[in-house]
Every structure is written in C-alpha cells, then in structure tokens.
Amino acid sequence: MTRALQLAASVRTSTSPNPWVGCVLVTADGAIAGEGATAPPGGQHAEASALRAAGARARGATAYVTLEPCAHQGRTPPCADALVAAGVDRVVIGVLDPDARVAGRGIARLERAGVEVVVGTLATEAEELLAPYLVHRRSGRPFVVLKLASTLDGRLAAPDGTSRWITGPKARDDVQRLRAESDAVLVGAGTVRVDDPRLTLRLPGEATRQPLRVVLGRAPADAALRPGLELSGDIRSVLDELGRRGVLQLLVEGGAHVAHELHRLDLVDRYVFYLAPAMLGGDDGLPVFAGSGAATMAEAWRGRLVSVDRLGNDVKVVVAPLRAGA
C-alpha cells in the first residue's frame, strides 16, 4: 500500500476533479505484477492501468488500491468489474469512496464475485492524501487551504500596506506547489486593489493546468487577474458554488478579513503558515486575522500540528482543525 500511495501522490496535480489513486498488483509470491495511477480526466483509472501492465499475471494476484474501486460507468468502465474479470483474488483498500455512485458498491461487487476485500490498510495516510476529494464528496464544498505568510510577530503587511516580500524564494516556490495542487485560488477584492496579484501558476510543466482565479467581491477593471471569477455573498454560499463547479481544493491567499471570516465560521480545513524571521516590532501592522477573536486563553482556537518544514530561512507550519475527519 505504501507504493500505491506513492503512485497516487505522483499524479496529485493532474487528475482533478477525479481522485488521485494508486494501484499495485502483487502476485502470490510477492512480486509486483503491475502498477498504475489515475490518468488525467478521460484517461484510465489506476486499477485499469495496473491491470494492463500486469496482463495475465493479474490472475490470482492481490490488488492494493488507495481508494475503493469505482462501480459505475463513467468515461471509463467500472474498475471493480475489471478487477473481477482479470481474476484478482484479493483487493486491499485504503479508504472507502464517499461518492454516491460508489459508497460501498465497489466492495459489494467484488465480494459478490468471491473476491476477498480488506479495508483500512494505511487508512490515515490515504485519508490525508485524498482529503480534498473526500471532503468535497462528503460536504459538496471544497477543501479549504488558508495560506498565510507573516512575520514572527504575526503581521501580514506593514502599516503602509506593503507585504512584498515577507518570505524568501523557497517559501514562495512552495506556494506555487500549493497552487498546482489546487483547483481554484481565492482572494478578497481588497487584496486585489492593494497588491494586484496575478495568482497564476508559474511552475515548469504545470502551465496547462492553471487554477481558477476567484475574487470575493468586485475586482477593478484593470486588475491583473482579469478575466477571473467574481463571486459575492456570504462565504458559505461562495464555497457551495465552487463545490458545484467541481473545485476539490480551494487555496485562499488573502486577505486578513477573508481569513478571519473563514476562521470564525470554522470553514478552514488546513492552515498553512509561512513564517519569516522578521518582525515589524509594533501593533500598527496588518494582523493575520482582521476582526475580533477569543476573549480569553480558555477560548483560544487549538488545532493539530500536521507538519513543520524549513524552507530556506523561513518555516512552513501546517495545522489542521481538531474536528472529525480533519
């Protein structure tokens, strides 16, 4: 399953709105017969790719797959049927697929055909890798990643509004990777007026899959990110609309008012802080969240530390909320 997860991670930026899945076929004597990962939309699913690579060696093999095999006819045939037809004896699954068209039906098809099914192998790792897809299918909304670059004293910008550049090039390159993983990038209209960001993906080889650029409110007519999608209304309705548009992961890049509203309403699934070893040294800079917060330490928001990484002279801290499935 570890290898299947690696294969899934390798196609993380190319499969949306389909889930990024890995599959490995192992023979009875422990040899890898074939492996595959989800192709871009319209292409083969991971199981089909692994079966094609294995050929006749798939008969009697065990399939390790990170997500429950699909059981419906879409742009490709059902993977559960393909595994049965190939003569696979056993299927080991990371997590169940909450998509209403699957949701246990893949397992049922396999078991009706006499295939042994094991569910939950490396489930925590599979859940983390597939979190945007799983959240979207369960809630109808995107998986919200809030990106915040700040000084050590918690400021997003100086009193004059300048914020370029708080962090160094390695941290900024990492933000590009976040964009590559995201289907849409959102900023508030105030950020557009002050910073005039392009919000484009500038990683080599990723130019064919630019994220949808979304402005909360009205952007100036001469904004650099035009044409982009402008949405208004409360933030929950905006997330609902983006979910209907097939956005699995939404990267929120600003500003402080948008960040505060998402945080206040408990709509953030991952907080990604880029901390620079710099301080403005006063209370007149722009804070990370613009708005009222907890009144006492007893009411302070607390999350789960996911990871801490050094990026050049900066530090990246990823935090998840303490709630079920987060």
Digitized pLDDT (tens) for each residue of the chain, 326 residues in all:
999 999 999 999 999 999 999 999 999 999 999 999 999 998 999 999 999 999 999 999 999 999 999 987 777 789 999 999 999 999 999 999 999 889 899 999 999 999 999 999 999 999 999 999 999 999 999 999 999 999 999 999 999 888 888 999 999 999 999 999 999 999 998 888 888 888 888 876 554 678 999 999 898 888 888 778 999 889 999 999 999 999 999 999 988 999 999 999 999 999 999 999 999 999 999 999 999 999 999 999 999 999 999 999 999 999 999 986 56
Backbone phi, then psi, for 12, in 5-degree steps?
Answer: -55, -35
Asked whether the whole model's pTM tops 0.75, one would answer yes
Distance, CA of 208 to CA of 210 (rounded, Å): 6
Please state, as a whole number, how many other Cβ atoms lie within 10 Å of the Cβ of residue 267: 19
Single out the residue of 184, 152, 168, 178 nearest to residue 288, CA to CA.
152
No. of helices (H) and no. of strands (E), the chain: 10, 15
* Sign of the CA dihedral with 111 first, then 113, 116, and 122 last: negative
pLDDT of residue 205: 59
**Catalytic entry in 35, 47, 68, 261:** 47
* Sign of the CA dihedral with 124 first, then 129, 130, and 132 last: positive
pLDDT of residue 48: 96
Q: Which residues contact 217 (CB under 8 A, 6 or more apart)?
A: 188, 189, 190, 230, 232
What's the full length of the chain, in residues? 326
Catalytic site includes residue 47: yes
Are 188 and 199 in contact, with CB atoms under 8 Å apart? no
Distances (CA, A) of 138 to 112, 141, 243, 247: 26, 8, 11, 13
pLDDT of residue 196: 80
Distance, CA of 301 to CA of 295 (rounded, Å): 11
Q: Which residues contact 74 (CB under 8 A, 6 or more apart)?
A: 101
> Left (φ > 0), alpha (ψ -120 to 50) or beta: where does 266 sit?
left
Single out the residue of 5, 108, 103, 21 nearest to residue 67, CA to CA.
21
